[in-house]
């Protein structure tokens, strides 16, 4: 099963590489914005996107993001995904 999870773009981290920082329920992770770069990247700050394996796959509206996050929480999948992201971030931080 493929799981896409909503996140909000909070910063552009590397414009030439089309990378940005997304926040998902308080967890921040760098994602590729290449699939949604149909406008200046700075215009994506504050937008909600559907994230899958490190790529922002589509821009979605805030209501859809909230409904999706709530449904995922109800299924328990969001918590598991967030824990995996946090573990990955901890591993990266420890590896530097």
pLDDT digits (tens, 9 = 90+) for 15-55: 999 999 999 889 999 999 999 999 999 999 999 999 999 99
Question: Does the CA dihedral 71-9-92-35 come out positive or negative?
Answer: positive
The CATH number assigned to the domain holding 62 equals 2.30.30.140
Instruction: Domain of residue 86: give its range.
Output: 5-95
Average pLDDT over residues 68-73: 83
**Residue 96 belongs to what H/E stretch?**
none
Q: Are 48 and 5 in contact (CB under 8 A)?
A: no
Three-class HEC string of 12-78? EEECCCCEEEEEECCEEEEEECHHHCCCCHHHHCCCEEEEECCEEEEEECHHHHHHHHHHHHHHCHH
Q: How many domains does the chain have?
A: 1
pLDDT higher than 80, residue 79: no
């Amino acid at each position: 099963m493929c799981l896409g999870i909503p996140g909000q773009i909070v910063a552009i981290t590397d414009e030439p590489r089309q990378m940005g920082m997304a926040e998902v329920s308080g967890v921040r992770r760098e994602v590729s914005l290449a699939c949604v770069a149909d406008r200046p990247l700075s215009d994506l700050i504050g937008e909600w996107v559907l994230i899958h394996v490190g790529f922002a796959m589509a821009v979605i509206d805030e209501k859809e993001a909230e409904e999706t996050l709530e449904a995922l929480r109800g299924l328990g999948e969001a918590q598991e995904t967030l824990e995996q992201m946090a573990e990955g971030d901890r591993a990266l931080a420890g590896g530097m």
